[in-house]
Structures are given as C-alpha cells and as structure tokens.
Structure 1
C-alpha cells in the first residue's frame, strides 16, 4: 500500500497496486474483489462490512463508473479506467489536479487510488441531460461554474518554464499514437480503410502547425480548463440544486477560448439518443445562445479575483475567440476517437465520432486559413 504525494505538498491519498479486470470479474466475483480492495484502502469504512452491492452507472465514454453500497455506510463512487486509456490521459497530472481541487472544495473529493482506477466522494445528485444543459437557466449556471473553474489559474498559476498547454500536448501525442495504430485500424474494416485512405492522415502535421500559427494570433488567456464539460459531467445536488462539475481527467492549462468552444460543441451531442456518436450541428448553440452564456460567464464575480477578465472583453469578442478555437477541439477529439475506436470496449461508434470531428476540423481550418 502506498500514500502518493507530490511536490505541491498535496494531502496524502491512500493507494495500492490492485487491478480490477472487468473483462474477467462479474457479479459476486467483482463484489468480492472490490470489497477486499475497500478493506485495504478504507479500513474504517469497511469495518463490520461483509457484503457490498455494486451498481453500474451508465454514460461514461472513457471509464466504467460504479456506486458502492453497504448497509449503514456512506456510498462510494468507483471509477475503473478503460482499456488502454493511459495512451490518452496523463493519470499523474489528473490525480494531482484532483487533490488540488479537493483543497479548494471544488468537485468531489479524491478518496483513494488503485492500479487501474480510483474512489471518489459520492455526491447525492442527479446528472444533467442534454435537454437540461441547453435550457437558458441551466446553461447560465454552467457558465458561472466554468468561470469558477477557469479562475483557479489565480491560485495555481501557469508556469511557462514547466507547464504546458494540454491541447497541443494532446494533439501531438495522440497523432503519434494514431499513426502507430493506423495499420491496425485499417485492418479492422474495409470501410474504415477506405475512409482513412481518403482522409490522408499524413497531411495532418502540416495542418496542425498551420492551425497553431492561426490560433497564436488569437488573444485567449490561459486558464485552468475542464476540457470536457459535457452534460454527463455536470451534477445537480439534491439538497441545494447547486451545479457541480465532475470528472477532471482531461483538465489542465488551456486557452479560455478552447474550453468555451468545447462546451458549446457538446450541445451537438446527445449520448443517450438513438445515435449517441453522431454530431448534430443543428443543435449547436445559436449566436444568441452563445452570447447569453458568455455574458453570464463574464458577469460572474471571480472568487479568486482573476485580473485577466476585464472590461475590454465583451461577449461578442469572446464568441469570436471561442469560434476560432473550435477547430482545435475538433482535431483533438477526432484523434481521440480513432484511438478509442481501436481499443475501447464501450458500445459507442468511436469511428463515426472521429471522422465527423476530423471533417469538421478540415472545414473550420479551411475557413480560418482563408
């Protein structure tokens, strides 16, 4: 058993190297394995517990999420990482940020970690739906929540000597992974192979560099960004109706415009519809809906007195900023989708998702290049 810490003097989190293999463990065997894991990590919680009940939560696209229940004990949330996601996510960075956020009372507390997953505080709540996210009142509250998250940059400032922007780090890393996986992806399906040949991924390094040059000219302050504010990652607490953003595995330093555009693009997805992987741009927020969101974002008082939000920024200028950064999100998630198409065991059409995002990147890239 270990107690990982970091150079930030973060609180110690109990940990061990146990692996939960969901391909093998089912039913009673899974419950027995998880109970033994809980006994190691949380002996006080497990005292007197002989039986637990495991309840699977649907909706996560990277991980398997479960509620752990036992008589007279507070509920725990168990997150088991998906197959091969270490190619996608910097787990050490994620855990460090979760500990920092816990210290700021933002999001659920990180309780413990193990070989391929973690335990988090369970928050009695309901998860937003796609329709919830798009209603004016909820949308404005998400804007305020996102502003609060972005302003964490004041408490944990971006250090240009050691920190990096997640968007370009991920794009460069994921492109290399995709090119290594390309023969395998093309062998999976004749249809996939034909699409990938037409798409010509060998062109992307040039397009990536040109995309960087275009976006370097857009003033967009670096913030602490969530980078995945889809409706499934926003909870409404039962007692207070407060909104809480969760699941920070893709979070880190990014330009403000990127995180805002990334949220807007999530309006185009309903992961509980008949076509959960299909991007419907007819659902993308209208200009007026974006302005309403951004006006609330700018008017939300900063808890941390962020000097980068000032009177010179208007909802209209912020809309242009986010619109230009949208192409970077299409590119990143398109590459992510190809990696997931190769390895994920989750029932989701990652290949369709990927090709739609990459096509959208090419369209936006052509628009802003000209």
Structure 2
C-alpha cells in the first residue's frame, strides 16, 4: 500500500496537477496518491496528452482486493461505456486507457449539475445486467467478515497498541454490531446490482467539455446492495484526509439526488420513469441505513491498513472516526421507517 493518502491512486492522473508529480522523466510520470498501488503514466514525447496508465499492485493488497473480480468488473463496465479500455494485464498489475477530465472534490459533488450527472451514471452502472444471466448475490457481508478476520489486535508500536485498546471498540462489540447489521439490513429489500462500492469524490472524473462524469478505480467493485453503494457515496461527501461529516448531504439534497437516480434507473431497466413518493422515501430510508455498513466496512479496511501500510497517514485515527460516526448516526438511522 505505498504512496499517498487516499484509496484512489488515479485521481491525480485525471487532473494532471503538476504539483502532485514525483518526477517527469522523458516519457514517464510517477503519481503519488493512493493507498494501494503505484501508478505510472506513459506517453510518447510527440503526444504528451496521450497517456497510457500502468498500475502496479501494492504490497499485501491481495488481502483486501479480489484482483480477478476487479478485472471482470473493469471489462463489464468498459463494455457498457462506463470505464476506459483495458489494454493488458500482467502478474502484478495492468495497463489501461487514460480518462480525460477533472477529479472532483467535496464541494463539486454538491453542485446541482454535477450531482445529477453522478446519480445518472450510478443508475447506468446499477442497471447493467448480471454476468451470464446469473442471479447476483451481495458480497458485503462476506467481504466485511473477511476484513474483520484480518483486523490486527496488536501492533509492534506500543503507542498504536494503546490507541487501539482505548479508542477502537472491542472486537466483541464490533462483531455484535456486524451480526446485527446483517440481520437488519438484509431485510430492507434493497436490490442487488453491480456496484462501484468506493465512490469517494476523487474517484469521479468530470469531463466538462463532453458534459459527463465517469467513475474510476474498480478494485472494490462487485455485486452488492444498491442502497450500500449510494449510502457509501453520501458518506464520502465528508472527504477522507480531513473528515467533515457536516458535509453529509441533507435530506433535501439526498431526495433531489435519489429522484434523479430513480428516474434514470427505472428508465434503464424499462420500468418507466415516474417516481412515486413511496419509492423515493423507501430508497431514502434504505440508503441511510446502509450508510451505517459503509462506516464499518471502511473502518475495518483502515485497521488493516494501519497494520500493513507504510505511508504517512493516520489509518488508526481514520478507523476511529468511522466507527464513532457509526455509533453517532445509528439511532437516527434506525428510527427511519420504510413507508407502508
């Protein structure tokens, strides 16, 4: 997991901000953001704007990323116009097309125009048919259980041991909450669809010239609950390096987002475009309940990173913030009721 502070290593490739480059050596650019991989942009001197991206997987990433599933998702998304071309793969990485545009920030995702583009693009992805016509199953609980099994209870650094004992909920409590979530959330009736599962702001590329957005970084893509993917995105309004949950979208903003989403999703699945108040409220409730699972998922992820990553980022502190937000928002989320 060498390099930088975010889960995405691609966002600075998309923006090509020169201050983010480690080096420019003739026809090679090395990018620094990302907590999982090393990314190099390659180009010929005559056409520096025509970049091909080479991603080399980081150390121990096989613990948290299913690379076979990532490739399948990459290919399916490209076939449906949602991802760049994948040129080739090799034992510890892959090579693919550069995607033009600007990576978004926490304020950009709140812009009414961009907000609608994001909701429609997510609807487009969620409407993609399952591979080979199979009935998809959500991988949320399997993945979360795997991450939980990898969470470290002891660190070499004594200060980290003290912090995890004092600030992180006990393993018994974490497991209790995980079991409760599976029991409760699985009954909400959220459809299982192809999800991105990691739609933080910097994983959204806005091409202002063409008037669209595209999502990047498919390492966590899989079939999952529709409401989880949306709830996870709403959590990411808070950012990552400096979390501010005051930026979590208001009910009004969510309802605007969800109405556009439902119109696009229903149109893509040939179920009309009319959205009833009941459908809108149902999705609102599902999304805000599944947002709880998002906090746990990335909390576990951060605890694993705290053990294995060598980058200068407080993963342990990030995990604490995610678990704290879970317990803070759980009462209000659980008070929400799906309309009769």
- Normalising by structure 2, we get a TM-score of 0.82
Counting only pairs closer than 5 Å after superposition, residues 74-113 of structure 1 correspond to structure 2 as: 74-113=50-89
Runs of 4+ in 1 over 6 A off after TM superposition: none
Residues 104 and 307 of structure 1, relative CA distance in 2, 3 Å threshold? same
Q: Which residue of 2 aligns with 1:195?
A: 166
Partner secondary structure for residue 223 of structure 1: strand
**Contact in 1 for aligned 2:2/2:58 (Cα 8 Å):** no
Instruction: State the match for 1:258 in structure 2.
Output: 228
Q: 1:293 to 1:238 in 2, by over 3 A?
A: closer
What is the aligned counterpart of 1:319 among 259, 284, 287?
A: 284
SS in 2 for 1:209: helix
1:127 aligns with 2:103: yes
When Rg is computed on C-alpha atoms for both structures, the one with the higher figure is 1
Q: Distance in 2 between matches of 1:193 and 1:311?
A: 46
- State which of 28, 33, 41 in structure 2 corresponds to 1:54: 28
In structure 1, the residue matched to 2:323 is 358
Residue equivalent to 1:177? 150
Query: In the comparison of the two structures, how many residue pairs are matched?
Result: 311
Q: Give distance in 2, aligned partners of 1:115 and 1:341.
A: 26
For the residues of structure 1 that align with 2:61 and 2:176, how far apart are their CA atoms? Answer: 26
Matched residue, 1:240: 210
**Does 1:214 find its partner at 2:188?**
no
- The yes-or-no answer on 1:166 pairing with 2:131 is no
* Correspondence 1:296 to 2:260: yes
Aligned-partner SS, 2:234:
helix
Q: Does structure 1 residue 225 correspond to structure 2 residue 195?
A: yes
**How has the CA–CA distance of structure 1 residues 301 and 326 changed in structure 2, closer, same or farther, with 3 Å as cutoff?**
closer
Identify which range, 63-72 or 104-113, moves more after superposition.
63-72
Cα offset for 1:113?
1.6
User: 1:223-282 CA deviation, whole Å, 9 max, x = no partner?
Assistant: 11111111111112364132111111111111111111101001011x5xxxx1x42111
Distance 1:302 1:122 in 2: 31
Q: Say yes or no: does 1:341 pair with 2:306.
A: yes
Question: Retained in 2: the 8 A contact 1:214–1:369?
Answer: no
Secondary structure of residue in 2 paired with 1:240: coil
| Distance 1:343-1:63 versus aligned 2 partners, 3 A rule | same
Taking a change above 3 Å as real, the CA distance of residues 367 and 120 of structure 1, as seen in their structure-2 partners, is same
How far apart are 1:76 and its partner, in Å?
0.5
Counterparts of 1:218 and 1:70, CA distance in 2: 52
Quote the offset at 1:304 in angstroms. 4.3
TM-score relative to the length of structure 1: 0.76
Cα distance change, pair 221–164 in 1 and its aligned pair in 2 (3 A): closer
Deviation at 1:52, TM superposition (A): 5.1
After superposition, the Cα gap between the structure-2 partners of 1:223 and 1:76, relative to the gap in structure 1 and judged at 3 Å, is same
Secondary structure of 2:190's counterpart equals: coil
Q: Which residue of 2 is the match for residue 39 of structure 1?
A: none
1:285 aligns with 2:249: yes
Seen in structure 2, the aligned counterparts of structure 1 residues 185 and 217 have a Cα distance that, compared at 3 Å, is farther
Shift of 1:22: 7.5
Task: Label 1:87 to 1:56 Cα distance change in 2 as closer, same or farther (>3 A).
Answer: same
Structure 2's unaligned 5+ residue stretches are 4-24, 336-340
Match of 2:113 in 1: 137
**Cα–Cα, structure 1 residues 212 and 333, in superposed 2: closer, same or farther, change >3 Å?**
same
In 1, the alpha carbon distance for the partners of 2:324 and 2:35 equals 21
User: Alignment partner of 2:96: what SS?
Assistant: strand
